[in-house]
């Protein structure tokens, strides 16, 4: 995707492959200047029409900013919008239509995950359409007008060992590219993203319903893939009634797993059972949670546990109720430093595998969306106006939300 003769560090291999396979044009064309980016709903403008068709992108628009750590965001209608002419090769400008509200947003906004450069546009779960692509971008997999999703990661290097093996979240660059954390997110009318990393949305999916799948969906789907799933096996999902958990039930059922849903409250119980969980355990009503979970899975305990809850208790409990040779997957991120307490003797004697799983790769996102497009997964959500973002975050912090909240921009 790079023109002008200079190849960024780490991209030489990709450049050579693209050059000799014809993706990058001949050297005489590499120095050709294409100053006008693609804009709005058409193809790249011709030289004769470029001057007559400036992009209709406003200079300023709405955004919800982390101006300081605390429970609320600062709303503004005068946030600067990056103009199409300022986009770098490989970048694109997205007009955001919907943005999901995630518990990770609460952790970031309140300072639980450490420093943030203020002001920062919050949000990392977005849905919209491409309105511009940076000049000199070569081989873009998306076009102006395409409906695309924005995930936690803005981009990765796509060249390192981690990226080549489908472990993009472990790329060194990924540690600095979290939307709404290290780079501006999708709680705004317009967002800059990367053509190689936005996710095309299947036509069968409604935009609002697909939005939570871009973070919660792909994250819990990847975690289940890491749990050594086998048809007919039991999986316990602590936090089953939340944003990740209720999607996890459906993905697990689609994989042929039997689900033990662990959460609290009648609303979450009804939701989990309706989505396909075979067993329900209310952790507040249980007098012996470990024993109850083991009893629900043939008296031996589940074959795996995917911890969607964001507090440390369920991780420690899983070590005791998991079946021998079982797998525990930690995926729900807590706020601040949290330690898991594991008895080494128990770990060895039961031959337990403990796995960490963070979001997912581009391929994981495609697979997660494909299952939803086939009707296997449906997000339970409520759509709220963008202006209610702070009240939505408050509800999420109080853990009173069953399913997911999506903001209509």
* Domain definitions of the chain by residue range: 33-213+380-408, 217-356
Averages of pLDDT over runs of 10 residues in the chain (409 residues) are 42 37 37 45 34 68 98 98 98 98 94 95 98 97 98 97 97 96 98 98 97 98 98 98 95 99 96 98 98 98 96 92 98 84 93 97 98 96 97 91 91
Is residue 93 within 8 A of residue 130, CB to CB? The reply is yes
Residues in the chain: 409
Name the DSSP class of 169. G
Q: Which two tokens stand for residue 220?
A: 């819990």
The helix/strand/coil state of 130 is: strand
What are the C-alpha distances in Å from 222 to residues 122, 229, 331? 24, 11, 9
pLDDT on residue 7 = 42
Residues 244 and 268 sit within 8 Å (Cβ to Cβ): no
CATH level 3 topology of 217-356: Rossmann fold (3.40.50)
pLDDT of residue 262: 98
CA distance from start to end of the chain: 31
Distance between CA atoms of residues 320 and 323, nearest Å: 8
**CATH homologous superfamily of domain 33-213+380-408?**
Medium-chain alcohol dehydrogenases, catalytic domain (3.90.180.10)
CA distance 18 to 149: 26
Q: Quick check: 262 and 318 in contact, CB under 8 A?
A: no
**Is the Cβ–Cβ distance between 137 and 84 less than 8 Å?**
no
Peptide bond into 308 cis (omega under 30): no
Q: Convert 251-281 to b/e letters by CB count within 10 Å (16 or more is b).
A: bbbbbebbbbbbbeeeebbebbbebebbbbb
d(CA 150, CA 95): 11
CB environment 169-206: b (16+ within 10 A), e (fewer): bbbebbeebbbbbbbbbbbbbbbbbbbbbbbbbeeebe
How far apart are alpha carbons 294 and 349 in whole angstroms? 17
Alpha carbon distances (Å) from 400 to 161, 266, 283:
41, 12, 16
* Tokens at 93, concatenated: 């400008």
pLDDT at 118: 98
**Tokens found for residue 337:** 């430093």
Cα(32)–Cα(41) distance, integer angstroms: 24
Instruction: Determine the pLDDT at residue 39.
Output: 57
What is the C-alpha separation between 129 and 235, in angstroms, rounded? 37
Domains 33-213+380-408 and 217-356 share a fold: no
Side-chain-side CA neighbours of 276 within 13 Å: the count stands at 21
Contact assessment for residue 317 and residue 305, using Cβ atoms and an 8 Å cutoff: no
């Amino acid at each position: 995707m790079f023109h002008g003769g200079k190849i960024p560090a780490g991209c030489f291999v990709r450049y050579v492959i693209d050059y000799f396979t014809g993706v990058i044009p001949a050297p005489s064309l590499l120095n050709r200047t294409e100053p006008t980016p693609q804009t709005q709903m058409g193809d790249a403008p011709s030289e004769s029409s470029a001057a007559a068709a400036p992009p209709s992108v406003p200079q300023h628009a709405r955004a919800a900013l982390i101006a300081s750590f605390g429970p609320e965001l600062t709303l503004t209608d005068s946030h600067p919008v990056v103009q199409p002419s300022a986009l770098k090769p490989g970048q694109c400008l997205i007009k955001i239509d919907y943005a999901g509200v995630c518990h990770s947003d609460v952790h970031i906004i309140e300072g639980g995950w450490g420093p943030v450069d203020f002001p920062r546009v919050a949000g990392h779960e977005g849905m919209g359409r491409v309105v511009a692509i940076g000049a000199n971008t070569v081989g873009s997999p998306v076009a102006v007008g395409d409906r695309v999703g924005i995930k936690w990661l803005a981009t990765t290097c796509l060249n390192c060992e981690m990226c080549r093996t489908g472990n993009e979240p472990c790329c060194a660059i990924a540690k600095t590219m979290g939307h709404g954390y290290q780079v501006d997110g999708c709680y705004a009318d317009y967002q800059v993203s990367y053509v190689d990393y936005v996710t095309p949305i299947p036509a069968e999916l409604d935009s609002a319903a697909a939005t939570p799948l871009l973070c919660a969906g792909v994250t819990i789907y990847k975690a289940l893939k890491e749990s050594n799933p086998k048809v007919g096996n039991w999986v316990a999902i602590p936090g089953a009634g939340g944003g990740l958990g209720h999607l996890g039930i459906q993905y697990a059922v689609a994989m042929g797993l039997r689900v033990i849903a662990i959460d609290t409250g009648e609303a979450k119980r009804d939701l989990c059972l309706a989505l396909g969980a075979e067993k329900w355990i209310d952790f507040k009503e249980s007098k012996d949670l470990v024993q109850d979970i083991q009893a629900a899975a043939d008296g031996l305990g589940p074959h795996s546990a995917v911890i969607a809850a964001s507090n440390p208790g369920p991780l420690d409990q899983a070590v005791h109720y998991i079946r021998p040779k079982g797998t525990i997957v930690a995926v729900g991120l807590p706020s601040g430093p949290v330690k898991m307490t594991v008895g080494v003797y128990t770990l060895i004697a039961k031959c337990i595998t403990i796995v960490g799983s963070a979001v997912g790769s581009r391929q994981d996102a495609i697979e997660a969306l494909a299952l939803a497009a086939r009707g296997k997964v449906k997000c339970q959500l409520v759509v709220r106006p963008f202006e209610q973002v702070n009240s939505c975050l408050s509800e999420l912090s109080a853990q009173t939300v069953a399913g997911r909240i999506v903001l209509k921009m």
